[in-house]
Structure 1
Amino acid sequence: MPHDCGFLADLSLSPDQISFERADRDRFATDYGTHAADASRPDAVVYPASTADVSTVLAAANDRGVPVTPYAAGSSTEGNAVPVEGGISLSMERLDEILAFRPDDLQVDVEPGVVGGDLEAHVATEGLCFPAFPQSAAFSTVGGMVANDASGIRAVKYGELREWVLELEVVRADGTVLEVGSKAKKSSAGYNLVDLFVGSEGTLGVVTRVTLELAVEPARTLAGRAIFDSLDDATAAITDAIRAGIDAATVELVDSLTAEIANSYTDSGLPSEPMVFFELHGRGVDREMDALVDVLRNHDPVRVDTAVEEAERERLWRARREIGQALLEYDPDRELEVVGDVTVPIGAYAEMVRFVGEVSASFDLPIPAFGHAGDGNLHYAILANLDDEDERERVSEASGRIVQRALDAGGTCTGEHGVGVGKREYLRREFEPAVIETMRSLKATLDPEGILNPGKMFD
């Protein structure tokens, strides 16, 4: 049902901050993981330029019961930012300032529309970095990454993004502005409200400022790639490397189908066999690299290549870094129907990867599997002919089997993509009813009218 958003014209916003145009509304009707057939168009788009603007819009919308869905770069994969109940899409793209940079404190204050790649370039001028960014940081925004509690290929060493968020400015549904957290590195004062808002996908409040902790750029970086004849050898090598306590920043796996897709796209000439990619940071990386290579060679790799210079590191890693684009161009008759992720305890990772291959064969669907093996995070992509209804139904069932197996292994339905729309039913499977009810009660307390990003996480 359409919502009357005419009240926006009466707010203290300039005309160029409000749009009812069809083209603008279409732009915010999908995200990366949502097909046109599943689009949900907002009734209006608002472009706030300040915290005060966000507060004004939310207070007015809350009074009228109009849904508001924050939208960053639209790079999410589970429909996280799609306005499934219409109303207002709140585009955060104009809140894109780096507000303060304090190199001596290893901190930076940013608005949510700052693109991760731009922030990385800015802090690099002082020899600093933000190691928790995912690969999508080149185009994703800080606000979106905070909303999803994103993480990436370096999580095995540096953890999730939430571990680097010190302080937030958040606007509640009724327009109240909160500052939560502290610029101190640690605190035991009161409830940890930062962690409550990080990963809440805009359902509890709209983030308007973020204070991030930074790290010193690694003194040295070594990288490499190992190719194996079998998936079992590759996963066993990864498990042994983690159990050996090797201080790796990154340990990535691609299965043979993913290798075939990536090698075809990059024209690398490499065999379509399982691959392990790794990266090490710090002053003692030579010793750690020797130990890692010894572990890998205990599992009969076809070859192990290592690199010191950046250009050579990029060459070795190209097949892994370009998987996203390779998947889009692999099969002209099929599109990416699902881009999913699950995380399992590291001891269950090998079985989880094998199970994806079994599902692929059982449902006669190409399902490449790859991901952040060092922390048990597995990504799977399902390619399908979207005009074939039977095939789309098989995709849905296949994805469900994969997620359920992860839950059965003591894992989670999503490690970094968030719940959004796509994983709602699995959230109920993952947690017992009392936990879901506790989550719902938090939502009802902070957003009693239910206007913030409705239709996400919960039905």
Structure 2
Amino acid sequence: MSAKHFAGRLPSAWRRAFSTSSPFKKPVTKNGAGSERAWFNPAYRQPGWTGRSVVALTATAGLLGFGLAAASLQGPPKRAVTLLDSKMPTPQYASMDELEDALKEIRREISKKGEEEDIISTDPEDLLSHGYSEWSTTNPDGLPVAVAYPRSTEQVSTIARICHKYRVPIIPYSGGSSLEGNFSAPYGGISVDFAFMDQIIQFNKDDMDIVVQPSIGWQDLNEQLSRMGSGLFFPIDPGPSAKIGGMIGTNCSGTNAVRYGTMKDWVINLTVVLADGTVIKTRRRPRKSSAGYNLNGLFVGSEGTLGLVTEATLKLAVVPEEFSVAVVTFPTIRDAASVAAEVMQTGIPIAAMEIMDEVQMRVVNLGGATAPRVWKEMPTLFFKFAGTKGGVKENISRVQAITKRNKGSNFEFAKDLREQQLLWSARKESLWSMLAMRKEGEEVWSTDVAVPFSRLADIIEISKKEMDDLGLFASILGHIGDGNFHESIMYNRQNKEELDKVQKCVKNMVQRALDMEGTCTGEHAIGWGKKDSLLLEVGPDTLAVMKQIKSSLDPLWIMNPGKIMDIP
């Protein structure tokens, strides 16, 4: 889709000319369905969070309790009334005139506080890149009407406060590599890109933690820690272009998850800008605390629907004394998955364990990203070992014994750092290799599920057979050590038969995972694309609780609306 067609993706009430005279351009980084009726009713307002609002809310709750108690004295109703039955008003977002007023006010206030450069862009290419993603499995109609590039928490607070005043949707943006339409703009609004907020704020070596801004990439963070000779690193390692803000928003993980867990396990404290511009910190800097609600757990994984993270205090880990990487092939995908389950069940402390099927190995060979290395095109397990020299040697020996009992062959482990990078590169280049093979009009649908690892061999075998039976060009890969795997499917969206097959395949994979007590997403989050799957997974009452939390923190539903759950 070219930039000149971007206007067709805007909500219909906002399809009008924009000034593109601003000299602002988005910085270059190293890593590279709303309807018209939703944009009227300018009289609609909701007050900010004031003391009077809190009193009114408390009084309302008291009256509700009194009413329910009185009703109970007159006999039970046919169905008990619960908190989850409360109705939420349909959000009424800003008109075009109000949106323009909001942009003017943001510019005016930011300038008044000493910022000389215009932080707002309405350039068509900027709007397109912040509302449409070739990575994503779904791209709902609509683009943001402006992109804001704040430089500080204070500026983010100003943006949020003014957007709250005018009821303008706010969509956070960091790495831009999410896969489920997480940063799409179906209701227009302002995309808040944290590209200028990519610094280390404070490094506490003795405490093994670090305070960073949201747009620093995890790889850049580890490079800086290495240059400082810290002996520490941040162990969560998703795709190479991922940045800390998006990693927090999706509770991502990566290849190291089997040893180090997911993003939620490494967040100590967050600075968050709420929907009305209020700035909070979720807790203080000790690694443990039992003081009040676990607000980290609330904001991590919330995809910007509850607030905008502007700083994060993260735990760091000690760089292990020894690393090694091993690769082993199997005759079938089930054999490989069975080995993974046995490795976990015997408690061998591996650092990472990844799986790729024969199709994905062929894709890597064809893509040439790891040339001159040519891989055996068979189901393959990749192991990463870390620890002391003696521990790594022992763990390699134990894994070798397990793979031998389960038809594993061609066991190869790295002898030095160069070989480690070479062996591991096939796994890290997997998605890029698939994307590189696209022909004109083709896309890659990449999605994931996770199950208890005792069921992993079953779901992988059945899912792979279905893809083959449907005649799809598709591969299986994933973080097999924690029961998480991905399907990457090549298809042409304009070919209805192909699209129907892909959608059927993905729907069946999700349902299969849920039937096995799994989850519809292990690390890609819900975004726009998996809302129906979330409802199947948690049920209407649990989803209603999420909606109540959302409404409490964001009563106007302006924070990344339409993600995780539909607007009321």
Select the residue among 124, 129, 138 that pairs with 1:27.
Answer: 129
TM norm structure 2: 0.78
User: Once the two structures are superposed, what CA deviation does each residue of 1:271-323 show, in whole Å capped at 9, x if it has no partner?
Assistant: 21100000111111111111111111111223100114110112222321211
Offset at residue 56 of structure 1 (A): 1.0
The answer for the alignment partner of 1:321 in structure 2 is 428
Distance in 1 (alpha carbons) for counterparts of 2:140 and 2:473? 22
The answer for the alignment partner of 2:38 in structure 1 is none
Distance in 1 (alpha carbons) for counterparts of 2:248 and 2:442? 28
Tell me if the contact between 2:138 and 2:528 (Cα under 8 Å) persists in the aligned partners.
no
The answer for the alignment partner of 1:49 in structure 2 is 151
1:132 aligns with 2:239: no
The answer for the alignment partner of 1:287 in structure 2 is 394
What's the secondary structure of 2:562's corresponding residue? coil
Q: Which consecutive residues of structure 2, in runs of 5 or more, have no partner in the other structure?
A: 1-12, 15-94, 112-116
Q: 5 Å matches for 1:249-268? A: 249-266=351-368, 268=373
The answer for the alignment partner of 1:10 in structure 2 is 105
Distance in 2 (alpha carbons) for counterparts of 1:101 and 1:300? 48
Q: 5 Å matches for 1:2-401? A: 2=14, 3-4=95-96, 5-6=99-100, 7-11=102-106, 12-14=109-111, 16-34=118-136, 38=140, 40-124=142-226, 125=228, 126-134=230-238, 136=239, 138-266=240-368, 268-283=373-388, 284-332=391-439, 335-401=442-508
User: Once the two structures are superposed, what CA deviation does each residue of 1:363-393 show, in whole Å capped at 9, x if it has no partner?
Assistant: 2212201100000000111110222122112
Tell me if the contact between 1:246 and 1:288 (Cα under 8 Å) persists in the aligned partners.
yes
Change (3 A) 1:285 1:323: same
Distance in 2 (alpha carbons) for counterparts of 1:331 and 1:454? 32
1:417 aligns with 2:524: yes
Offset at residue 82 of structure 1 (A): 1.0
The answer for the alignment partner of 1:428 in structure 2 is 535
Change (3 A) 1:141 1:32: farther
Distance in 2 (alpha carbons) for counterparts of 1:290 and 1:342? 31
Offset at residue 361 of structure 1 (A): 2.2
What's the secondary structure of 2:282's corresponding residue? strand
Q: Which consecutive residues of structure 1, in runs of 5 or more, have no partner in the other structure?
A: none
Tell me if the contact between 1:222 and 1:308 (Cα under 8 Å) persists in the aligned partners.
yes
Moved more, 412-421 or 316-325: 316-325
Letter in 2 for 1:402: M
Offset at residue 331 of structure 1 (A): 4.8
Moved more, 231-240 or 152-161: 231-240
Distance in 1 (alpha carbons) for counterparts of 2:349 and 2:216? 31
Distance in 2 (alpha carbons) for counterparts of 1:36 and 1:377? 21
Letter in 2 for 1:129: F
Tell me if the contact between 1:170 and 1:205 (Cα under 8 Å) persists in the aligned partners.
yes
Change (3 A) 1:330 1:32: closer
Tell me if the contact between 2:137 and 2:446 (Cα under 8 Å) persists in the aligned partners.
no
Offset at residue 48 of structure 1 (A): 1.0
Tell me if the contact between 2:137 and 2:529 (Cα under 8 Å) persists in the aligned partners.
no
Moved more, 406-415 or 384-393: 384-393
Letter in 2 for 1:339: S
Tell me if the contact between 1:337 and 1:386 (Cα under 8 Å) persists in the aligned partners.
no
User: Highest Rg: 1 or 2?
Assistant: 2
Letter in 1 for 2:105: D
Distance in 2 (alpha carbons) for counterparts of 1:39 and 1:327? 26
Distance in 1 (alpha carbons) for counterparts of 2:450 and 2:383? 19
Offset at residue 188 of structure 1 (A): 0.9
User: Once the two structures are superposed, what CA deviation does each residue of 1:4-35 show, in whole Å capped at 9, x if it has no partner?
Assistant: 32222223124520122222212212235337
Distance in 2 (alpha carbons) for counterparts of 1:36 and 1:225? 34
TM norm structure 1: 0.96
Letter in 1 for 2:103: L
Change (3 A) 1:404 1:334: farther
Change (3 A) 1:131 1:32: farther
Offset at residue 334 of structure 1 (A): 6.6
Letter in 2 for 1:44: A
Tell me if the contact between 1:327 and 1:336 (Cα under 8 Å) persists in the aligned partners.
no
- Number of corresponding residues: 457
Tell me if the contact between 1:334 and 1:383 (Cα under 8 Å) persists in the aligned partners.
no
Change (3 A) 1:280 1:94: same
Tell me if the contact between 1:132 and 1:154 (Cα under 8 Å) persists in the aligned partners.
yes
Identity %: 35
Letter in 1 for 2:476: A
What's the secondary structure of 1:339's corresponding residue? strand
Letter in 1 for 2:459: M
Distance in 2 (alpha carbons) for counterparts of 1:94 and 1:58? 17
